[in-house]
Chain A
């Protein structure tokens, strides 16, 4: 066991795959340095033949990754901020996601798209969004969202080895957060949720940075004799509904906490799934915690108001008790 940051874990996982498979390479804007420094050590070890700085050209980054994946490589394309995914949306949605299907299954596209999501660092409206629902909505994309260094390693190993387009959402507020990782790297299969904390009273379903917020809320609520179970799906699609439903069957209450603004969020899809398929387990209405339905504001005061908080989660839990 060792302790490393979430950012370092991502870097080590990618390095591990670059070493083991010569078809794996990284391309993106300033990846030799990295705006969050995640890929800097990759460039030091592998150089420009495997870690390619591109111009500021999101459309070509993803389009070229699609072309490279279709002709035998395993590109890891970085979109610096998730907010910039819109610039490459045709390449992601109309090309990468549909190519295999439209071609009758006769092509494989082993492609990873990395992106930094989330607010909390005063990066304002165009550098802070959580847009995972855009991608879970589109058939043909897998969407992964690690919340800890350990998960980042295991999920990256699986994402890179997957023969389909996989979007990995990284929460930028987690890059510097430490966590324990195993000495031996092992893939975590996509579509397997993890029970991050066991409890009998309320299920808190949380993704990304909300997992640690849920953990803090749960630790505080324990002092009031409320035991929360925390479920982290780790992969948004394919989605492990069984683990979630099993937990709700036990607790009969569920809070969904994600950093997205609530309208049309991924949490809305999860809520609908519970209502359609696990309604009988519920003793209380589903409660969703998310950001307010505005662009992400700049000012610290406004941004704090915008984001879901530990307090919000605690309040939600108490509301269903």
Chain B
């Protein structure tokens, strides 16, 4: 599948943006500037970007606890994301959600989610909504290998298959469900094999190969858009950082991480851009510098932003009721 030069550069830019954001988040967390549970996406960038480059603002995604990459790939703005990680009033959720609950409905982002496997039925419901309203929108559900063992996986893929819903279930198989390797949490190697039990198409691709991800996602999304029903797309990838920031990672070796770093999706794409003269070094450096600047500005924005007022905790539970203040 031919991807235009312009699109490839945009893909590269978004992958670099995710990497830079996440590395900065890791650094800030280590310095004690960020609190709570933070799960970084470093290493998996080709999946979020390869899929979301096939979507418009009107399409929806559900994300996961490891959601920053999906949000950036779907058009989330880094300064509002960073402000949310800081718990500031200017953050996407006004400081009420934090890392695991960032959402932007205007960009079709139905939220990161702190519950593993919770996105399946929500994305399925978005798909039902599009079919009901007879639009050509598509819902994409990102999830990990660990989530594929949840009951929500089964119930949702079954429902989407019998109702032919426009949903693409994108598995980021990063080889670990939290601390447990795939071989110990399920008997199969390819999660896409499970598609057969729902009578839908299942595909597995190299999740570190942006071309493979883009092409497979393009076919699945196009099929869903044309009322062809759901697809289970598995992208095999790897996270370089721990399950969460601060994870001592006793369950894997440094060598294993190094092996995967040699298959880094960003380095691979950069090589392609240079070798095929889509971009020269100068342009790439300029692009990377601009992104680093954007991330630094996001941190600055977050740090300078005001905290929410304590009593704002009472608002936004309902559309029409403000909870009673502490007496």
Note whether A and B form a binding pair. yes
A67-B139 contact given A95-B115, A104-B316, A238-B321, CB 8 Å threshold: yes
Mask, A200-238, CB within 8 Å of B = 1, is 000000000000000000000000000000000000001
Q: Please name all residues of chain A whose beta carbon is closer than 8 Å to the beta carbon of B151 when the two chains form the complex.
A: 59
Confirm or deny: B144 has a beta carbon within 8 angstroms of a beta carbon on chain A.
no
Confirm or deny: A60 has a beta carbon within 8 angstroms of a beta carbon on chain B.
yes
Query: Shortest CB–CB separation between residue B113 and chain A, in angstroms?
Result: 8
A105-B315 contact given A57-B155, A238-B321, CB 8 Å threshold: yes
A142-B125 contact given A59-B152, A101-B96, A103-B101, CB 8 Å threshold: no
- CB-contact partner of A102 in B101, B126, B127, under 8 A: B101
Give the distance in Å from the alpha carbon of A73 to the alpha carbon of B125 in the complex. Answer: 10
Decide if A67 touches B316 in the complex (CB within 8 Å). no
Q: Please name all residues of chain A whose beta carbon is closer than 8 Å to the beta carbon of B130 when the two chains form the complex.
A: 71
Q: Please name all residues of chain A whose beta carbon is closer than 8 Å to the beta carbon of B54 when the two chains form the complex.
A: none
Confirm or deny: B91 has a beta carbon within 8 angstroms of a beta carbon on chain A.
yes
Decide if B316 touches A90 in the complex (CB within 8 Å). no
Query: Shortest CB–CB separation between residue A79 and chain B, in angstroms?
Result: 14
**Among residues 108 to 122 in chain B, which have CB atoms less than 8 Å away from a CB atom of chain A?**
110-111, 113-115, 118, 120-122
A71-B125 contact given A90-B115, A94-B118, CB 8 Å threshold: yes
Q: Please name all residues of chain A whose beta carbon is closer than 8 Å to the beta carbon of B128 when the two chains form the complex.
A: 64, 67-68, 73
| Interface residue stretch chosen among B156-164, B206-214, B256-264 | B156-164
**Among residues 64 to 118 in chain A, which have CB atoms less than 8 Å away from a CB atom of chain B?**
64-73, 75, 90-91, 94-95, 99-108
Q: Please name all residues of chain A whose beta carbon is closer than 8 Å to the beta carbon of B315 when the two chains form the complex.
A: 105
A107-B92 contact given A63-B120, A94-B115, CB 8 Å threshold: no
Decide if A103 touches B318 in the complex (CB within 8 Å). no
Pair count A-B, CB < 8 A: 142
A59-B133 contact given A66-B121, A70-B125, CB 8 Å threshold: no
Give the distance in Å from the alpha carbon of A25 to the alpha carbon of B131 in the complex. Answer: 13
Query: Shortest CB–CB separation between residue B124 and chain A, in angstroms?
Result: 5
Confirm or deny: B3 has a beta carbon within 8 angstroms of a beta carbon on chain A.
no
Q: Please name all residues of chain A whose beta carbon is closer than 8 Å to the beta carbon of B115 when the two chains form the complex.
A: 90, 94-95
Decide if B320 touches A163 in the complex (CB within 8 Å). yes
Give the distance in Å from the alpha carbon of A54 to the alpha carbon of B127 in the complex. Answer: 15
Confirm or deny: B297 has a beta carbon within 8 angstroms of a beta carbon on chain A.
no
Confirm or deny: A159 has a beta carbon within 8 angstroms of a beta carbon on chain B.
no
Query: Shortest CB–CB separation between residue B134 and chain A, in angstroms?
Result: 10
Confirm or deny: A136 has a beta carbon within 8 angstroms of a beta carbon on chain B.
no
Mask, B308-323, CB within 8 Å of A = 1, is 0000000111111101
Residue with the greatest number of chain A CB neighbours at <10 A, chosen from B115, B132, B156 = B132
Query: Shortest CB–CB separation between residue B49 and chain A, in angstroms?
Result: 23
Q: Please name all residues of chain B whose beta carbon is closer than 8 Å to the beta carbon of A107 when the two chains form the complex.
A: 103, 105
Q: What residue in chain A is nearest B165 (Cβ atoms)?
A: A64
Give the distance in Å from the alpha carbon of A63 to the alpha carbon of B60 in the complex. Answer: 15
Give the distance in Å from the alpha carbon of A31 to the alpha carbon of B95 in the complex. Answer: 41
Give the distance in Å from the alpha carbon of A139 to the alpha carbon of B322 in the complex. Answer: 11
Residue with the greatest number of chain A CB neighbours at <10 A, chosen from B120, B122, B124 = B122
> For the side of the interface on B, what is the size category?
35 or more
Q: Please name all residues of chain B whose beta carbon is closer than 8 Å to the beta carbon of A100 when the two chains form the complex.
A: 316-319
Confirm or deny: B299 has a beta carbon within 8 angstroms of a beta carbon on chain A.
no
Decide if A70 touches B118 in the complex (CB within 8 Å). no
Decide if B111 touches A67 in the complex (CB within 8 Å). no
Q: Please name all residues of chain A whose beta carbon is closer than 8 Å to the beta carbon of B152 when the two chains form the complex.
A: 59-60, 63
Give the distance in Å from the alpha carbon of A59 to the alpha carbon of B91 in the complex. Answer: 31
Give the distance in Å from the alpha carbon of A142 to the alpha carbon of B320 in the complex. Answer: 11
Residue with the greatest number of chain A CB neighbours at <10 A, chosen from B91, B151, B159 = B159
Give the distance in Å from the alpha carbon of A54 to the alpha carbon of B162 in the complex. Answer: 9
Q: Please name all residues of chain B whose beta carbon is closer than 8 Å to the beta carbon of A59 when the two chains form the complex.
A: 121, 151-152, 155
Q: What residue in chain B is nearest A67 (Cβ atoms)?
A: B125
Query: Shortest CB–CB separation between residue A319 and chain B, in angstroms?
Result: 32
Query: Shortest CB–CB separation between residue B155 and chain A, in angstroms?
Result: 4
Query: Shortest CB–CB separation between residue B266 and chain A, in angstroms?
Result: 30
Q: What residue in chain B is nearest A27 (Cβ atoms)?
A: B128
Not counting A100-B317, A101-B316, A106-B103, a sample of 15 additional A-B residue pairs whose C-beta atoms are within 8 angstroms of each other reads A55-B159, A55-B162, A60-B121, A60-B155, A63-B155, A66-B125, A68-B128, A70-B105, A71-B130, A73-B133, A75-B125, A102-B111, A104-B95, A106-B93, A107-B105
Interface on B for A, CB 8 Å cutoff?
60, 62, 91-97, 101, 103-105, 110-111, 113-115, 118, 120-130, 132-133, 139, 151-152, 155-156, 158-159, 162, 315-321, 323
Interface on A for B, CB 8 Å cutoff?
25, 49, 54-55, 57, 59-60, 62-73, 75, 90-91, 94-95, 99-108, 139-140, 142, 163-164, 238
15 A-B pairs with CB atoms under 8 Å apart are A55-B159, A63-B120, A63-B125, A66-B122, A68-B126, A70-B126, A71-B60, A73-B133, A95-B115, A103-B96, A103-B97, A104-B94, A105-B316, A107-B103, A238-B321
